[in-house]
């Protein structure tokens, strides 16, 4: 059977997992990431969990097709409720909004605290997720930004054992919004994203100025602040090149 193929987004997620540990993939969909982890020797034991019966049925067939029923445990349930504390070393949560990811982590905090690593790929509300990570004293050790099928994605590697409350520079709003490591590594994709976003934001601001309503002025103020943050992030990236 040929090697399992993942999208660039999901391969980036899977390749960020520390080798040799026990892994759970929350919201596993069709279990392709779980299969990839085992097939590539990243993990010998994976728990694939999803709240939806349809994807779980397809995942079960895929796991059986790859002869991995003895190494991938498929579970049906909500978030981390399917996992017991101490059962896994790495937790994957990908393809969900940042607020939903924080809700899952908060509800399963006993499981999170017994693990060592989180690999998180938020579809939105990334700033909210970064703030939550900092508030818990966890440390983002790595960030990757990529383009897959024309869309921008960020993947975060989080050490939940760090208890890092001391990095004040990483608490700045610009870092929450765009990522301390992405900025300090002068990430080219982040730079491209910011320039594209600045261009589209400028066009929206031009339109709002013409509208001249209370709501338009309020929204213009919000976007002006966003624009200033993007310009500051680009300045920091440029200064570090």
Q: State the pLDDT at residue 219.
A: 87
**What is the rounded distance in angstroms from the CA atom of residue 219 to the CA atom of residue 97?**
23
Q: State the pLDDT at residue 167.
A: 53
**Strand order from edge to edge, sheet including 90-96:** 72-76, 46-50, 23-26, 90-96, 117-122, 151-159, 139-148
Of 131, 125, 124, 187, the C-alpha closest to 158 is 131
Residue 153 shares a structural domain with residue 172: no
Residue 192 above 70 pLDDT? yes
> Which CATH number characterizes residue 140's domain?
3.40.50.150
pLDDT tens track for 148-173: 999 999 999 999 997 765 554 545 88
Q: State the pLDDT at residue 220.
A: 87
CA dihedral 144, 162, 108, 168 (to 10 degrees): -70
What does the angle CA 61 – CA 82 – CA 45 come to, to the nearest 5 degrees? Answer: 60
| Mean predicted lDDT score pLDDT of the chain | 92
Residues of the chain with pLDDT > 90, as a percent, come to 80
Residue 8 above 80 pLDDT? yes
pLDDT tens track for 195-218: 999 999 988 888 887 777 888 888
Q: State the pLDDT at residue 166.
A: 52
Distances (CA, A) of 100 to 22, 49, 121: 23, 16, 11
Stretch 91-106: mean pLDDT: 97
User: In 10 A of CB 11, how many CB atoms?
Assistant: 18
Q: State the pLDDT at residue 1.
A: 44
192 CA to centre of own chain: 19
**How many domains does the chain fold into?**
2
Residue 147 above 80 pLDDT? yes
Residue 27 shares a structural domain with residue 145: yes
CA dihedral 236, 237, 238, 239 (to 10 degrees): 50
**What is the rounded distance in angstroms from the CA atom of residue 64 to the CA atom of residue 80?**
24
Range of the domain at 183: 167-241
Q: Which of 132, 163, 194 is the last residue of a domain?
A: 163
């Amino acid at each position: 059977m040929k090697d399992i193929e993942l999208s660039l987004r999901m391969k980036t997620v899977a390749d960020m997992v520390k080798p040799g540990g026990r892994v759970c993939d929350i919201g596993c969909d069709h279990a392709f990431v779980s299969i990839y982890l085992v097939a590539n020797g990243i993990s010998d034991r994976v728990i694939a969990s999803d709240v939806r019966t349809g994807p779980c049925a397809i995942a079960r067939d895929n796991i059986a097709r790859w002869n991995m029923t003895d190494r991938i445990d498929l579970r049906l349930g909500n978030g981390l409720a399917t996992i017991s504390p101490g059962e896994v070393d790495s937790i994957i949560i990908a393809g969900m909004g940042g607020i939903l990811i924080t809700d899952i982590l908060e509800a399963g905090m006993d499981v999170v605290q017994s693990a060592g690593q989180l690999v998180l790929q938020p579809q939105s509300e990334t700033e909210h997720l970064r703030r939550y990570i900092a508030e818990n004293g966890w440390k983002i050790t790595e960030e990757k930004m990529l383009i897959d099928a024309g869309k921008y994605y960020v993947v975060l590697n989080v050490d939940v054992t760090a208890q890092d409350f001391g990095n004040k520079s990483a608490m700045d709003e610009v870092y929450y919004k765009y990522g301390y490591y992405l900025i300090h590594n002068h990430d080219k994709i982040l730079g491209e994203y910011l320039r594209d976003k600045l261009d589209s934001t400028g066009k929206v601001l031009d339109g709002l100025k013409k509208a001249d309503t209370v709501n338009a002025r309020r929204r213009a103020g919000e976007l002006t602040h966003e624009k200033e943050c993007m310009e500051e992030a680009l300045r920091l990236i440029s200064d570090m090149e």
